[in-house]
Structure 1
Amino acid sequence: MEIINFEITKNISIKGFSLIHSRNDQLLFFVHGLASNSTLFLPLANKLFELGYSSIGIDLRGHGNSSKPSSGYTLETFSKDISSIITEYLKVKPIFIGQSMGANLGVMLAKEKKPLIKGCICIDGGFINLKDKFANWKQCEKQLTPPNLDHLQLPQLKELIEINHSDWPKLSIQGTLNNWKIFNNLKIKKKLSIKKHLLLLKSLWEQKPNNLNQLNVSTLLINSTMKPNFENFPSHTKMINLEGDHDIHAQKPNLTSKIINDEISKGFFR
């Protein structure tokens, strides 16, 4: 694994990881969800690397090890960041793999008239419609504002994560811990501030519902906690429902990698 850096502007750099096979032109591009980071994809990316796939995973602005500017916390800006990386740095069209909000970003790219991606895989996301659940933004904000855990120290945080995700691989536990900056005295601080979290949440709440018929690339939906009811599926879309956590890619990387490999091998993403 290599640490990578993409310069979006003079003052904004997007960090992440790469796992590259020298003889494989099939590239997977991982984008995490709200308040997460690229390393939560490493268990899945490692499994897919063993199957012969090259991968790149990024930390969205404000997340992980990427720059944390004071502005730009909207889905539209994030989509532009990703488009800049694909057009300026990548040699091939990747298959986009996003989770939760990251999947919604993938669908935004999949709806473009001239898509920059070869295909889109949505892991428990892509068609999040918060207005279905909340009549107004204030209700959404009240229910979904995350708890502030920065009063904890590292051992307490690690124990809390392990209790809530007792069946997760150790690498996925570490990926979750990477959402915080850890100080020498074991104090912690969330890398994405709650203020910026809420800006992104509001952008997600304001997003118009996505429509399967708007997709211009083959799209695979892998759902766990989300079970959208679509009446009709275009021929270039497919949905697989699993039982598991919202971050099922982190909980069950073996199963998720098998599904992805099977669909790619069958030629779903042509």
Structure 2
Amino acid sequence: MTFLEKWLYIIRNCSFDNSYKAAWAKAITEIAVEYDFHQPIGSTMQIGLEAIAKKVIRYYFEQTIFFDLKQSPNPNKPPKIVSLVKELIAEYQKATQSAQPVKWFRSNIEVICKMQYEKTVKQVKTALKADVSYRFLTVEGKVVDDAYNYERNADFLYIAADNMRELKENSLIVFDAINYRWSQMLENFNHSPRICKKVKIIDEDKVRRKPLTKFFQLIAAENPDHICFHCGKKIIDETPAIDHVIPWSYLYSDDLWNLVILTKHVTQANQMSFQAKQ
């Protein structure tokens, strides 16, 4: 594989433990784009983890201060870097006496919260060393060779200048791949709006809806009298059905908040409508 193929392979197949790898890949690609290449063919570039850390902080700052997006599957145990960025945001909002979301480059946070920012950079750098730097290259238990060289706990990684130039020349493709993979992760962790799931599902051979019967007890706990959501009457002479308020064909998901009890004839009408659209 070429370097670009390896880079895209890692991005498209990295694990969903958290979004660190997407942030790491985006930072290195961005460094490649910013670099003015003058190195001879066959030379090697040195990239500092501090430079990567600063970019990672910016990514998480904006995703958090604007949307408070979860970056891992466990909301009670956020990734260390996200927690550090949240502390930086809290310090910034305290200093500015404003909770108004602001883009990183307009925040002047490096000056307003200079000490906290510098502390956060060091802490994020340490976290990247411990967790991301060497693990990024491992996909499904196998290390992808020759993407870059990194020795554990080092402050720098080394990557061929020709590979960085290839990243720069193909940056639009790479950023699209990173953003799509990152969006997939965020939609797994945040559940909505599932835009990536909608994009992915059109590539599948057939759209399949899963039975909703497993949710009946949970829905019935909130509606023990089995009142039909559609007509408002108690369902007596039939087994209540379960269906979506916002159509499944719009969300492509079975979120509990979107499920209600209905009479069967209403559900059948909804299913006929869905089949007609297919």
Give the alignment's TM-score, normalised by structure 1.
Answer: 0.23
Bigger proportion of residues as helix: 2
Give the alignment's TM-score, normalised by structure 2.
Answer: 0.22
Larger radius of gyration: 2
